Amino acid sequence: MNRTRRTLLGGAAALTLIGLAAPAALAAPAAPAHNTHHPKHAPVGVRILTPTPGSNAGSGGKGWMVDLVAVYPSLKASGFTGPQLTGPAAHANTAPFPGAFSTGADEHLPGLVVLGSTTNSTLPGFTGPGTNLANLFNLTSQIDTQKHFVAIQDTWIVGAPILGSNVNTTLTVAIIKDRNHDGIYNDAPATVPDANHDGRIDAADLRALGVVGGIQTVRLHLAGE
């Protein structure tokens, strides 16, 4: 089997993995399949598994979950530094799978951006909807490794009403492109700027920043008490 055929099969397998793992209502992210030896030409994508569109999630704005799967051409390209099981207070940086717990880019999956359209700006570390919430994710693990791709699952149990309560909100998730050209998707910012100055931080601002593999959005309601 020649290199081109192997590469196409690897790309198809990666996108199939994302497609099978998610609700049919969410389209698989588009991703080119040309050369898996460099991230700029490799299949990359992210899919939100939970919540589903239209959910009435949690209670009092907390106790709900964000669960997603990210696919990369290789473990090195993902920037993944190992599994984590973390959380607030005593749960942060605790064995056996320590991880930081704060806003900003996740050191375990440093290319991921997760935004909430109603994220508050009053709690320490939160600057409103542009805040990258990726480093608040509690559980990160490598769930599938094949010759031409690796899949990493990332989960966040939301323990406080940081996106509000009894409010409609939109989650927006993407992987930032390889901006520094080091062959690794590790360039997610702590805060996404309002690039088009429209008073919102959303998919348009992520496109201006530069993403790879598409952008996923889910609109849902966060239940009140």
Give the per-residue pLDDT at 175: 97
Compute the mean pLDDT over every residue in the chain, rounded to the nearest whole number.
82
Q: Is the pLDDT of residue 121 over 50?
A: yes
Q: Is the pLDDT of residue 133 over 70?
A: yes
Tokens coding 70: 């990210």
120-147 mean pLDDT: 92
Strand partners, 68: 48, 154
Contacts of 110 (CB under 8 A, 6+ apart): 79, 184, 185, 186, 187, 188
Q: What share of the chain is helix, strand, coil (3-state, %, to 5)?
A: 15, 30, 50
Return the number of other C-beta atoms located less than 10 Å from residue 67's C-beta: 18
- What is the bridge-based pairing of β-strands 139-145 and 84-85? antiparallel
Give the per-residue pLDDT at 161: 95
Q: What is the pTM of this model?
A: 0.79
- What is the bridge-based pairing of β-strands 211-222 and 56-57? parallel
**pLDDT band for position 85 (50/70/90)?**
confident
Express each pLDDT in 203-223 by its tens digit: 999 999 999 999 999 999 999
Q: How far is CA 119 from CA 94, 103, 131, 216, in A?
A: 27, 11, 7, 17
Express each pLDDT in 1-50 by its tens digit: 444 334 434 444 444 454 533 333 233 333 333 333 344 445 899 999 99
113-133 mean pLDDT: 94
What gap in Å lies between CA 159 and CA 87, rounded to an integer? 9
Give the per-residue pLDDT at 92: 63
125-142 mean pLDDT: 93
